Chains A and B, each alone.
Chain A
Amino acid sequence: MSGTSEETVRPAPPPSAPKARPKTKLIWAIVIVVVLIIAAIAGAWAAGVFKKEKEEKVLVIAMADDITTMNVSAANWLFGPACVIYDTLFTRDLQGGYSDGLVDTWEMDRDNLTLTMHLKEGVKFHDGTPCDAEAIKWNIEYQSNETWAYSAYMFASINETWVIDDVTLQLNLSYADASLMFNLSNIYGAIMSPTAIEADPEGYGTGTNVVGTGPFKISEWVPADHVTVVKNEDYRWAPSWMENSGPAKLDKIIYRIIPDESARFLGYESGTIDILMSVPPYKVTDYQARDDTVIMTGPGQGVFYIEFNCEKAPWDDPTLRKAFGYAINRTEILETVWHGIGSEAWNYLPPILPETNVDPALNFSYDPAMAVDLLDQAGYRDRDADGWVEKGNQELTLDLWTATRGEDISMGEILKDQIEAIGVHVELAHYEDNTLTDMASAGDQEACLFKDSWPRADILDWLLGSWAIPYPNTAHFSDQTFDDLIAAGYESTTDEEYTAAMTAAHERVLELAPWAPVLYWDQVHAVHEWVTGWTLHPLGQETVQNLVDVDIEK
């Protein structure tokens, strides 16, 4: 045998080794697999996997910003989900009239200064606890506490709350407060579950710890992403002005938070978003041309205005400030920027408020000749015929700042042209919202283009009252007569008194012209055709909405 061979010798298999039987193995493998499949199918059938689920009716609404908290007493602003999770004691119908909410009937006794409220029966919070007179009393006391409640002033006229029985309570008032019904019908006076708040006072209002009595209850809240609310099956106490007393027709509403405007539009155009609130003017024409879209417009709750820094020379001169109110061609701005949506603003309060009806002589209008005359009265005249007004040797220049929103920039550009047409130079600059507000609070500005929103004349006090300097009174405007008239308005005991006092206050600030009004803005919503029952509330989004009437028919 050779020792150098490298050949490998494989041993022969032992003769007794059984041959493999692949066919048997294969058959067994098939049998096992088939048995497993049958078992899986049987299990799935038993678990109801093959049952066709009833298709849910889900409404998707886009929002630009998230809410910071849904604790109504600690919220800066509330709309969207809060307005369907909560109920208020009273509501405002679609004509703006006061109507029932959690309160069914009521009696105001102006002589004895009491408001007796009879609650609807059988109302429960989403956590199952009763929304009875004790719960309402708890809410009023909680929301009156200035330690944590930003809106405590809304309950300032309530001395005491007496519980008569489970569905009856009486408010003892320090005076017959004309603003009380407004405050109790406002989302910032909504009724929250005392049990939920007491269980987690610090955390209430965030996550899923939001408990009301509304037609929808919170299901999920992913911050900066979405809020999902689901139908409250027990809801039967909708206000009488709503067509459906409850429960809601929709199964679920998803409020998607989409800060990027383009993404909101794409979501709407692809059909994944059903409703767009706050449609910018440049999109309105496109959406009106779509077959699947209804553009809904309705009155807004505020005004765009140029606000002057009333502490900074030369803008501390009311005559000078007033001139600019007559230099603005509001028609041009309305047509060019807003495509006709909205209306021209002649004074500081929107048409939905009775206090807008001031002495017509005080309303502003487009009157360049009047503007030039007022400039002349303030000492500014075009002495050298170069087209620019001056006082002494100094030509007048206005630094006008706006926010960085497209519409604001566009309005700023047009305002610049219009103001320069009366001989005043304009330096235009644009800043992000928070920055603009902060700089105005600090008094850095000469004039800013701002927008306000509130369905009550109180807004004049918040923005122009002396107590509010430097914020929110970024105009740094101070006038004792105005403050006194506002105080009289707050002490009014009837709606007529309130309107008279606030109208007088309105007229006073128009005389002193801290603002030059530009436009009354309108609400603009884009709604897909398969959504029915959606309405625009005249008081805007910060009030209970009639989403129980909304349905989807896809």
Chain B
Amino acid sequence: MADLLSYIIRKMILAIPVVVAATVIVFLMLYLTPGDPIKSIVPPRAGPDVYEQVRDKYGLDRPIWEQYGLFVWRAVHGDLGNSITVWQGTSVSKLIAMKLPNTLMLMGLGLAISYSIAVPLGVISALRQNSWIDRGGMVFTLIAYAMPPFWLGVVFLMIFAVWLNLLPVEGTTGGLGSLILPAMTLGVGNAALTTRMMRSSMLEVIKQDYITQLKSRGLPGREVIFKHALKNALLPVITVLGLDIGWFVGGSVVVEEVFSWPGIGELMTSAIYNHDFPLVQGSILVLAIAVILGNLMADILYAWADPRVRLG
């Protein structure tokens, strides 16, 4: 337990420079890109004085290094600043708190769909290697991997929402039903790689000597596979889970835009278009922390699944 705790603390400490680096990069990118957020909120009919007033209000007339320093100082105290363009002047923390649960729901369901497809399909493909099931599964993974999420999303919309009229087109009008298509888009796209990993891992495990020995002892095949082989075959897949968190974060930004799902990705996209610096910086900070925590959880899960892993 002490080992686990010290491992978590070390990981969190190592995460700090990663988060700082992410915010510096985003900060610089925003400021070096042409575009003035003040023009998004001040109308053309206002005089030049008004522009300067508003720029001063949001601190945009200060040197870059001072602006970044202020951002870091406030962030450490839990204040991510005020949005320039969304509910003008509203706290970024409040906006993120409104949107983050929607993104987490989307990512959670997407992950569930992804692994619900990938694990069984990978196992069956491995057990029925070179059969039509295996070949069909690999074709599916190839197609799913090749299709970009935004295109896959539009295809799902056309089929299920427009032609079959089974599910809502966008937003949250259909309640939880609105979550299905965007989650499927994320899940199916991610399932491709995970299926292949599950398959190759399972193939490797079932060829191990101890599996042969278990079979020779007369243990039922189902027990050999699900009680002994699967647990070991899952280890590489659990490792990939940490990387998948990052994929889902990036994918959710695109998918939320296509489906108008009111999550942090859609909020951030709008903020980028409008050069809403505080909102972009705050969103990136939160997403970077989410990715790091996701990776950490994956590491812990891996340690739990494999007692041989020493965390100390």
Contact = CB atoms under 8 A, between A and B. Distances in A.
A434 B45 contact: no
Given A76-B41, A258-B260, A435-B35, 15 more contacts: A66-B86, A69-B88, A69-B89, A206-B87, A206-B88, A222-B262, A223-B86, A225-B262, A256-B170, A259-B266, A263-B260, A267-B169, A272-B170, A434-B36, A435-B34
A338 B37 CA distance: 31
Interface string B259-270: 110100011011
Contact of A263 (B45, B170, B172, B273): B170
B260 A153 contact: no
B39 A438 contact: yes
A263 B40 contact: no
Nearest to A148: B53
B161 interface: yes
A525 B66 CA distance: 47
Interface string B144-186: 0000000000100110011001001111110000000000000
Given A66-B86, A270-B165, A224 B266 contact: yes
Interface in A26-43: none
Contacts of B80: none
A267 B40 CA distance: 27
Contacts of B170: 256, 258, 263, 266-267, 272
Nearest to A258: B260
Contacts of A205: 88
A38 B49 CA distance: 71
A438 B33 CA distance: 10
Interface string B88-105: 111000010011000000
Contacts of B154: 262, 266
B134 interface: no
A467 B48 contact: yes
A432 interface: yes
Contact of A259 (B34, B50, B269): B269
B196 interface: no
B42 interface: yes
A267 B154 CA distance: 12
A225 B260 contact: yes
Nearest to B36: A438
B51 interface: yes
Contact of A150 (B46, B165, B169, B262): B46
Contacts, number: 146
A188 to B, nearest CB: 8
A319 interface: no
22 contacts: A66-B86, A75-B43, A76-B43, A150-B45, A206-B87, A222-B98, A257-B260, A259-B257, A260-B260, A263-B259, A266-B154, A266-B161, A266-B162, A266-B170, A267-B170, A270-B161, A272-B173, A435-B35, A437-B39, A458-B45, A467-B48, A471-B36
B220 interface: no
B258 A76 contact: no
B23 interface: no
Given A270-B169, A472-B44, A438 B257 contact: no
Most chain B CB inside 10 Å of its own CB: which residue of A151, A223, A226, A262: A223
A266 B169 contact: yes
A256 B269 CA distance: 17
B260 A434 contact: no
Nearest to B172: A225
A267 B158 CA distance: 10
B42 A76 contact: yes
A458 B171 CA distance: 39
A45 interface: no
Contact of A68 (B85, B99, B262): B85
Interface in B121-155: 154
A438 B169 contact: no
Interface residues of B, number: 49
A471 B51 contact: yes
A66 to B, nearest CB: 7
A263 B258 contact: yes
Main secondary structure of the interface of B (DSSP, over half): loop
A98 interface: no
Contacts of B39: 434, 437-438, 441, 471
B205 to A, nearest CB: 37
B199 interface: no
B260 A207 contact: no
Contacts of B114: none
Nearest to A147: B53
A220 to B, nearest CB: 11
A260 B257 contact: yes
A501 to B, nearest CB: 18
A35 B257 CA distance: 50
A439 interface: yes
A471 B269 CA distance: 25
A270 to B, nearest CB: 5
Nearest to A272: B169
Interface string A413-448: 000000000000000000110110111011000000
Most chain A CB inside 10 Å of its own CB: which residue of B33, B34, B257: B34
Contacts of A203: 89-90
Closest 4 CB pairs of A and B: A472-B44, A225-B262, A206-B87, A69-B88
Contacts of B157: 263, 266
B162 A259 contact: no
Contacts of B48: 467-468
A77 interface: yes
Contacts of B87: 68-69, 206-207, 221, 223
A262 B86 contact: no
Nearest to A60: B173
A259 B260 contact: yes
A500 interface: no
Interface in B8-65: 33-36, 39-48, 50-51
Contact of A151 (B45, B266, B269): B45
B274 interface: yes
A75 B169 CA distance: 30
A389 interface: no
Interface in A185-205: 202-203, 205
A410 to B, nearest CB: 21
